[in-house]
Structure 1
Amino acid sequence: MDDKRALLEDSGEQTTERAMAKAKDIVQNLDKVTLNIAVTGESGVGKSLLVNAIRGVNSGEEGWAKTGVTETTKNPKEYPHPTMPNVKIWDLPGIGTLDFKASVYMNKVGFKTYDFFIIVSATRFKENDLLLAKNIKKQKKNFYFVRSKVDMDVANQIASGEGTEEETLRCIRDGCLANLKKQNITSPVFLITSQDLSKYDFQKLIETLKTDLGHEKMDALMLSLPVYSKRSLDEKYSTFKKSVWALAVVSGGIGAAPVPGLSFACDTAMVLSFLTKVYHSFGLDDKALKKLSERVNEPILEEVKKSKLVQAMSKSMLSSSMLTKLGAAAGVEILSCMVPIAGNIVAAGVSFVTTRAVLQEGLDELYGVAKKVLEMADLQ
């Protein structure tokens, strides 16, 4: 009875049947929901830099989108996320070039492919950007104006003594909005720098996307973004937490199958797969931590390695305590399944409770480590 009550509370459903159906949908969608983000605008405005920043890829690394002051993207280029291949960022050619004139741009880049468009400008939004926005709107798709390289403008204004950071940001924003208003376009403008997503309006852009995207696609986006603040980490944690009970329900179904060893093997694989996603999404892998350590000049990698779970995950393994718990539960399940019908129900309950506990334990430990990383890096 306690297991059933826990299942209904976790799912928010009124019946076991609806809860189990919901759980299966969640698990099936974990890796199947696709998200295609188009980054567009004129040539040389920093589109490729933004593509790299969203994917957490640095210069010279595998999958780095080529950047440059001249046109470097000749055709729509797909960049799958390094650890979530169902999320794809598309670097589109610059609008208004000889090969991609504004009048035929939408048809050439295949507008139907994308879930939404980010229109990037490094100065003011020009005629081609505005024409692009109007065409996207006609196709009933969403677009977002992003003013890039804001950090450079702020630094230049401060260095010249012509304005503070606050004054410069207000001037840039007001200029962009006035520019759009002249073309009868009412839309917010998000000021960002691809060098540091924690600055300026990137979080505001994410909040806006939350209201426009369906929850499944928004979850995919949230988990794919690099951790750039405590708030972004908390949102990732909440998103992952929603999946814990669903995975445990699927585990319960496997636990009821009277096949010796099946439950342990499946539960272990399921937990490892889930925590591997968490491990990478929280930026706890060696590659991500090394980059962060170099950036903030702190020995973050060594500190994080104190976590036994992080050590195990770096080797694509579970910690010994987790394997012990799953193994003990598997033993109980095997014995329970020797009793017809009632035994299967007991086995399912044991599998559900144990797997949920191990998943939550792992998620909480990795979350705690990631919070410590942010504190060491002074990212709030």
Structure 2
Amino acid sequence: MTQPNQSLHTPLPTFFTPTVQHNTGWTVLPKATATSIEKALGEGKLLGVVSVVRETLETASSAPVRITVTGDSGNGMSSFINALRGIGHEEEDLVPTGVVRTTRIPSCYSSSHFPNMELWDLPRTGAVTENLENYLEKIQFIQYDLFIIIASEQFSMNLVKLAKAIQGQRKRFYIVWTKLDRDLSTRVLSEERLLQTIWKNIWETLQKEGMCEPIIFLVSSFDPLLHDFPELRDTLHRDVSDIRYHRTLKNLSDTCEKVIDDKVTSLQGQIASKSFQDILGIQNADDLGECLIAYHLFFGVDDKSLQQVAQSIGKPMEKYKAIMKSQDLHTVLTGD
């Protein structure tokens, strides 16, 4: 009979075949990564999983995040992009600005302030709201990670529909009210009251359309150190990092969960089999303590494996044991 500590960290018996589907696309794991995780989990080697996760996150750290700036013509999108990038009027890589519609095709810009971020200047939305569906299809907005909707003077129905479409795709978006310097220079209200009024008008317009509370920034592209511009930069930095890592971690988690669930199903189907007991090294199937030890080894959550993982990550093993639902026989019997 094979001893548990000799057999359970070898490839799984033939009755276990992972069934994770490897989708292809921007937000899913590469097939090779998912296969490596399946193999490591199948063999009960958590250190292998840790290694794959680290490599995947390292790759994700340099993955481009695609941010797009869009809105109605004349709202100052190009000036805003220049201000966000910290580009002065004398620099060569300046986004063209002007009263006429300057952007007719999507243009990509980079910024030293936001490494590995693609900042896309999109064609402006049309003046007629019925053309919005054509506009969304034209810009292929599904491929972008976060949208910055630029507004000034008024928050048009075009922009409302655009925000609803983005929210319907569960994408992040900001509302940025530009040209605040002009609003303040012609104000009849106090500065504080004017800012509150602009913010409230945008919020109430979207609320009438059943929108969730948006993230709104009131800025002047000519004074990028004033008003909400610094907060916008900070928020964008956080969201870019979150977008970059969140989708990767979620895909890693989903893959691990699916492989483990498949492994559990296989275990349940074979648990009464004498051959399976031999594979696990179980001498007495009625001895729950012996079975629990064998199962810990089978899933790679025995003390030795957990200690290796804890040392690799630099955390105490107790942190992992504390969240186990089957730490010991007493926990199992009292829990379920």
TM-score normalised according to structure 2 size: 0.51
My pick for the range that moved more, 74-83 or 201-210, is 201-210
The structure richer in helix per residue is 1
Alignment counterpart, residue 227 of structure 2, candidates 192, 200, 206: 200
1:34-78 Cα shifts (integer Å, max 9, x gaps): 111100110110111111111111124122111111211111111
Matched AA of 1:167: R
1:175 lines up with 2:176 in the alignment: no
1:238-288 Cα shifts (integer Å, max 9, x gaps): xxxxxxxxxxxxxxxxxxxxxxxxxxxxxxxxxxxxxxxxxxxxxxxxxxx
Alignment counterpart, residue 211 of structure 2, candidates 176, 180, 185: 185
1:130 lines up with 2:157 in the alignment: no
Tell me the distance in 1 between the aligned counterparts of 2:161 and 2:151. Answer: 14
Matched AA of 1:79: Y
Q: Against the structure 1 CA distance between its residues 20 and 63, is the aligned structure 2 distance closer, same or farther, given a 3 Å change threshold?
A: same
Tell me the distance in 1 between the aligned counterparts of 2:117 and 2:54. Answer: 22
Alignment counterpart, residue 131 of structure 2, candidates 101, 107, 114: 101
Residue 177 of structure 2 aligns with which residue?
147
Residue 92 of structure 1: CA displacement? 0.8
Matched AA of 1:173: W
Q: Gaps spanning 5+ residues in structure 1: where?
A: 1-14, 220-380
Q: Aligned runs of 1:58-77 on 2, under 5 Å?
A: 58-77=88-107
Residue 21 of structure 1: CA displacement? 7.4
1:145-175 Cα shifts (integer Å, max 9, x gaps): 1111112211222xxxx23221221222222
Tell me the distance in 1 between the aligned counterparts of 2:238 and 2:118. Answer: 20
Give me the CA root mean square deviation: 3.2
Alignment counterpart, residue 89 of structure 1, candidates 109, 119, 135: 119
Q: Secondary structure at the match of 1:78?
A: strand
Tell me the distance in 1 between the aligned counterparts of 2:51 and 2:100. Answer: 54
Matched AA of 1:101: N
Residue 10 of structure 2 aligns with which residue?
none
Residue 144 of structure 1: CA displacement? 1.3
Tell me the distance in 1 between the aligned counterparts of 2:121 and 2:50. Answer: 40
Q: Against the structure 1 CA distance between its residues 139 and 78, is the aligned structure 2 distance closer, same or farther, given a 3 Å change threshold?
A: same
- Return the index of the structure with the highest Cα Rg: 2
Tell me the distance in 1 between the aligned counterparts of 2:67 and 2:176. Answer: 14
Q: Against the structure 1 CA distance between its residues 59 and 134, is the aligned structure 2 distance closer, same or farther, given a 3 Å change threshold?
A: same
Q: Secondary structure at the match of 2:108?
A: strand
Q: Against the structure 1 CA distance between its residues 137 and 215, is the aligned structure 2 distance closer, same or farther, given a 3 Å change threshold?
A: closer
Matched AA of 1:179: T
Residue 217 of structure 1: CA displacement? 3.4
Q: Against the structure 1 CA distance between its residues 78 and 104, is the aligned structure 2 distance closer, same or farther, given a 3 Å change threshold?
A: same
Residue 164 of structure 1 aligns with which residue?
190
Maintained 8 Å contact 1:73/1:91: yes
Q: Gaps spanning 5+ residues in structure 2: where?
A: 1-45, 247-336
1:43 lines up with 2:69 in the alignment: no
Q: Aligned runs of 1:1-380 on 2, under 5 Å?
A: 28-30=59-61, 32-81=62-111, 86-97=116-127, 101-157=131-187, 162-188=188-214, 189-206=216-233, 208-209=235-236, 213-215=240-242, 217=244
Matched AA of 2:153: T
Residue 258 of structure 1 aligns with which residue?
none
1:213-258 Cα shifts (integer Å, max 9, x gaps): 5537389xxxxxxxxxxxxxxxxxxxxxxxxxxxxxxxxxxxxxxx
Query: Percent identity between the aligned chains?
Result: 34
Tell me the distance in 2 between the aligned counterparts of 1:45 and 1:163. Answer: 22
Tell me the distance in 2 between the aligned counterparts of 1:26 and 1:40. Answer: 30
